[in-house]
Amino acid sequence: MKVLVTGGAGFIGSHLVDGLIQAGDQAVVVDDLSSGSLRYLNRSAKFYQMDIGSPELKDLFEIEKPESVVHLAAQISVTRSVQDPLYDARVNILGSLNLISNCVNHKIAKVVYASSCAIYGLPQNCPLDENHEINPLSPYGVSKHTVEHYLATRYHLNGLSYVVLRYANVYGPRQNPFGEGGVVAIFSQQMLSGKQPTIFGRGDKTRDYVYVSDVVRANMLALKSKVTGIFNVSTGLETPDQTIFDLVKKECRYQGQPVYAPERPGEIKRIFLSFQKAEKALNWKPQVTLKDGIARAVAFYREEPLNP
């Protein structure tokens, strides 16, 4: 199967491309390299440096004739989405619409779309399932959810089969430790370089952390599945910031303590997601424990330190 992967030079995308090629599939990558890097892109992949909103995307579809698409490319900064919602919408909504239109026109068999738990907003109950109220707190969450609606519309109007995967907090090797997300990567880089990490609040804010190889497996199962729909990709476990710090500290052999700073305004106190729907429909569930995943991530940053 030939799969077009948008954002395929990014953190999750490069791992997915590796998985596809190892499975015997062909991978065509579209990435504008605004946040991705060719450093980890599999050499067996066909690469196009291109914005997903580009008119030239049509030519790529005509040349490569992909059978399926995994759409990972996005503006991923919540902060930037608040500061510049027009840019966020231009990339995440208009860029996605350009991609979806090409998928319809070229009769793509399946689109797998990377959405986010950011669409849910403040949890009314935990673990959240896919029927939870949608009330995003940032333009980023709005844009990610908007594309879900466009996919559903194209399914009903044109028969475009799709799977939406709503990711919890993804972590693992190759994640950029210099952005606003990815606390495992941030703590790892800081501790290994002798810097004192900061925990915002008392360390009791919780998140759901899912390892990147489990996310890759969810995408590959979705590609080969005949189902259409929306699925959380998560562990169903909530982990406090303090626990993340302690696990990373142990792996890094760091001797210090964190700085505790005031909570950042607007942050959600606790969230974790149910993956039961994905388990039933996609035969997927997480396999990598948080302890093992953090050990793998720290080992990566120790061997391949990144520069901002």
- Catalytic residue selected from 48, 120, 140, 171: 140
Dihedral through CA 75, CA 168, CA 172, CA 175, nearest 10? 10
Q: How far apart are alpha carbons 49 and 55 in whole angstroms?
A: 13
CB atoms near residue 308 (< 10 Å): 7
Determine contact, residues 228/163, Cβ cutoff 8 Å.
yes
For residue 142, which amino acid is it? V
N residues, the chain: 308
Q: Is 140 a catalytic residue?
A: yes
Alpha-carbon distance 133 to 10, whole Å? 30
CA distance linking residue 12 with residue 149, whole number of Å: 23
List the catalytic residues.
140
